[in-house]
Amino acid sequence: MLQQQFEPPTRLVKFYSRDEIVKFLKSLLAGYQKEAEKYGDKLGTLMRTNPQEAAKVDPKGKSISKGWMKLGTLMVNVSDPSRASTEVMYQVHDDMKQKVANANAALNSFEQGANNVIPENMIYLLFLRNGTPERIIAQNPDAKRETFSFSASYKVI
C-alpha cells in the first residue's frame, strides 16, 4: 500500500525568519519543477514511441477522447484509457507549469521586496492556496500571546 505524508494544498506555514521563507519557496519551486519535468518527459516519450496516439490529444489537455462518463463528481474513462491517460498527463503538466510560474513569481517578489516591506525579527505565516503562495502575515513575536496555565492543589490521603 502506498503511504505518503499528506500536506494539504491550502494551509498556513509558520516561519521564524525571512531566510526560512526563502528556503521554503525555493524548495517548493524545485518540487514543482521536478514534477513538471517528470510529466514533460513522460509526454515526450509517448510522442516519440506512439506519435499517432499523442497526435489525437490536444496539447492543451482539452477533453477530446470519447468514453468519459460521470460517476458522481468524478469522471471515469473505461473505453479509451490510453488516450484518457495522455489527456490527463497534458493537464497535470500544464498545471505544474502554472505552479512553477506562480512559485517563481512569489519567490522573486519576496526576494526583491521583503527588506522594504516586511519587518525583520518577526514570526511569519505564509498562506498557501492550492499550493501557491499568496499572502504573508508578519506577527510581532513579543506581542502578548494567549497562554494557558493550570494550577491546582492536591492533597494526599
pLDDT in tens, 126-143: 999 999 999 999 988 876
Average pLDDT taken over every residue of the chain: 85
Mean pLDDT for 48-59 is 69
At residue 98, what are phi and psi to the nearest 5 degrees?
Answer: -65, -40
Q: With bands split at pLDDT 50, 70 and 90, how would you rate the model's confidence at 55?
A: low
**What would the grid cell of residue 50 be?**
506512439
C-alpha–C-alpha distance, residues 142 and 123, integer Å: 10
Q: Name the helix (H) or strand (E) containing 103.
A: helix 81-117
**What would the grid cell of residue 31 be?**
518540487
Q: What is the pLDDT of residue 119?
A: 82
- Domain ranges for the chain, please list them: 11-58+81-139
Torsion of the alpha carbons at 113, 119, 125 and 131, rounded to the nearest 10? 10
Q: What is the pLDDT of residue 53?
A: 64
- pTM of the predicted protein model: 0.76
Q: With bands split at pLDDT 50, 70 and 90, how would you rate the model's confidence at 57?
A: low
